[in-house]
């Protein structure tokens, strides 16, 4: 399958240098790129059916975590921003369950797509995960399920909306909330978010939308899904170095197994 049969390359000329540098600038300025109708509608429908077919193999879990996704720090009280718990609940199928001939795999492996990502993200190369679970994931969120406020560990994330819910399930974020590399926690700002005192940006993504997001310093969440239609979203994960596996503890947490 050719990338042109998967991606709306007329609107999103991935190999075009001007387009690449425009995306690069947008990402650096705003921390996010949103490409509506990135996937062709018939491809979205194909992936949606793959998702329906494999849903019985999803690992559903509910976790409580702090926004920093770290173990709690006993130097702070339990109700301090450092340790305050939020809830995340969702289901997920892993790379090994995604069909071998899925357009998701063609896109993930595509050199055109990886070159585009490298240009936009200032990376030299991008590599798949060394473990068999982590590279391509499909997330399911049923009514009432949500992702609590958090900062990502990874410096960027690529998501593709496959099926939007009837209501709720919006991706909400506030950029520039900390500088992780400087060890900044910004308790004051984060507390305002948790208390609902800062109004976040909201992304309404419809099916077929690609989002490229720098979530390490931008706090974000997925609001609770409402209605009977499952929110289905693909996450494409890459590494800047070859041979890297997701940590065993993260695999157990997210997938319920190691391989
Ligand atoms: O579901 C989404 O739109 C975002 C997912 C996310 O933030 C994550 O997996 O860390
Ligand atoms: Fe995230």
* Percent of the chain residues topping a pLDDT of 90: 96
Query: Using an 8 Å Cβ cutoff, are 34 and 205 in contact?
Result: yes
Question: For a substitution probing ligand 1, which of 94, 140, 147 has the most ligand atoms within 8 Å of its CB?
Answer: 147
> Which one of the ligands is nearest to 172 CA?
1
Q: Which pLDDT value is given to residue 84?
A: 97
| pLDDT for res 126 | 97
Digit-coded pLDDT (tens) for 67-95: 999 999 999 999 999 999 999 999 999 99
First to last CA, the chain: 28
Select from 6, 3, 254 the least CA-distant residue to 131: 254
| Residue 220, pLDDT score | 97
What is residue 34's predicted lDDT score, i.e. its pLDDT?
97
Please determine, for residue 255, whether its predicted confidence score (pLDDT) is greater than 90.
yes
- Non-local (6+) Cβ contacts of 188 within 8 A are none
Q: What is the pLDDT of residue 1?
A: 80
Q: What is the mean pLDDT of the chain?
A: 96
Q: Which atom of ligand 1 is nearest to the CA of 152?
A: 10
Closest CA to 141 of 48, 253, 232: 232
Whether the predicted pLDDT of 153 surpasses 90: no
What mean pLDDT is predicted for residues 207-232? 97
Domains of the chain: 3-255 (2.60.120.620)
């Amino acid at each position: 399958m050719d990338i042109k049969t998967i991606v709306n390359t007329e609107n999103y000329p991935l190999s075009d240098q001007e387009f690449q540098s425009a995306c690069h600038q947008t990402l650096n300025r705003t921390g996010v790129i949103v490409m509506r109708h990135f996937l062709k509608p018939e491809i979205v429908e194909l992936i949606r059916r793959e998702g329906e077919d494999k849903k019985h193999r999803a690992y559903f879990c509910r976790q409580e975590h702090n926004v920093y996704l770290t173990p709690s720090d006993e130097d702070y009280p339990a109700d301090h921003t450092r340790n305050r718990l939020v809830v995340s609940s969702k289901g997920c199928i892993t790379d090994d369950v995604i069909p071998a001939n899925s357009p998701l795999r063609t896109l993930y492996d595509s050199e055109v797509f990886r070159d585009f990502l490298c240009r936009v993200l200032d990376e030299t190369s991008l590599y798949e995960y060394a473990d068999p679970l982590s590279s391509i994931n499909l997330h399911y969120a049923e009514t009432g399920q949500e992702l609590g406020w958090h900062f990502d560990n990874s410096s960027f994330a690529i998501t593709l909306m496959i099926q939007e819910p009837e209501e709720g399930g919006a991706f909400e974020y506030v950029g520039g909330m900390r500088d992780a590399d400087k060890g900044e926690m910004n308790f004051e700002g984060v507390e305002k978010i948790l208390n609902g005192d800062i109004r976040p940006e909201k992304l309404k993504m419809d099916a077929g939308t690609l989002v490229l997001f720098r979530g390490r310093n931008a706090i974000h969440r997925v609001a609770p899904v409402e209605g009977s239609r499952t929110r289905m979203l693909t996450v494409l994960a890459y590494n800047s170095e070859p041979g890297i596996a997701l940590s065993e503890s993260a695999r157990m947490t997210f997938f319920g197994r190691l391989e």
